[in-house]
Structures are given as C-alpha cells and as structure tokens.
Amino acid sequence: MSREGRLRAVAVFVATLGVAVATYIAIAESDGGAPACFAGGGGCETVAESSHSELAAINVAVIGIAGYLALLATALLRGDGARLAGFAFALIGFGYSVYLTWLELFVIDAICQWCVASAVLMTLLFAVNAVRMVRYVGTPP
C-alpha cells in the first residue's frame, strides 16, 4: 500500500468513528434527551439543551453525520478532486468544531465529552487531509 493509501485508510477509519459518534449524539438527542455523560457533571445534557445544539433548526449532530460521510467518501476516492474536496470538507469541519468548542467553553459553560471526541476526530481528519493535499496533489492516482 502506498503512503497515500495509508493516509486514505486512516481517514476512512477516523471518518467511520466520526459517523458513529455523531449518530449516537443525534439518536440520543432525537427525542429531547441527551447523550450519556460518563464523566458526570451533566455537561452533555447542558450542551444538548442549549440553543447552540441546532443550526437552522437542524441538530448539529446531523450536520456532523453529513460532514463525516462526505469525508468518508473523499477518503474512498482517488485523485486531486478527492484530495481537494477532502481538504475543504475537513477544513470546514475543523473550523466549525473549533467554534462549537469555543461555545462550550465560553458561552454554554459546559463540556460534552461526545462533542470533544467529535472535535478530536475532526482535528485528526483535518491533519490527514492536509498532509494528503500537500504531499500528493498533482500526483497521479
């Protein structure tokens, strides 16, 4: 397997984990609930109940599922188009994760461990896609 192939495999694995985490959050919040907060403190419930848990009446976790699926698709594809799209989706996802983490810390005043897990996964995807973009753009698939 080539080095880019290994990067793609890592991206597939991490994006799949991201889909799982975002799906769990979306299901847990679907009936007005919240994800189980194993660390205690009720941070997950506080975040889920905040007005920031939705964007244009869409649960942020559902947006996350779509983002992770898009990143999964770009990891499965080869070529410069997939590299560029993967980098763009990861950059947007990373930026939005930073914003949501900022909201948790400074506006909502609560931390959801599942949201942190998603932010870590998106950060990893951003790093992998950035390396894939910088090192392999312009090379044949």
DSSP per residue over 31-89, as a string? TS-----TT-TTHHHHHHHSGGGEETTEEHHHHHHHHHHHHHHHHHS-SHHHHHHHHHH
129, 36 in Cβ contact below 8 A?
no
pTM of the model: 0.93
- In sign, the C-alpha dihedral spanning 118, 119, 124, 130 is positive
Residue 141 has pLDDT above 90, yes or no: no
Confidence band of 122 (pLDDT split at 50, 70, 90): very high
Q: Is it the case that residue 131 has pLDDT exceeding 90?
A: yes
DSSP designation for 90? H
How many angstroms separate the Cα of 75 from the Cα of each of 59, 84, 129?
Answer: 25, 11, 9
The CATH superfamily assigned to 3-136 is: VKOR domain (1.20.1440.130)
Domain boundaries, the chain: 3-136
d(CA 80, CA 103): 34
C-alpha 12: how far from its chain's center? Answer: 12
**Using one digit for the tens of pLDDT, what is the confidence trace for 2-59?**
899 999 999 999 999 999 999 999 999 988 888 888 877 788 888 988 899 888 989 9
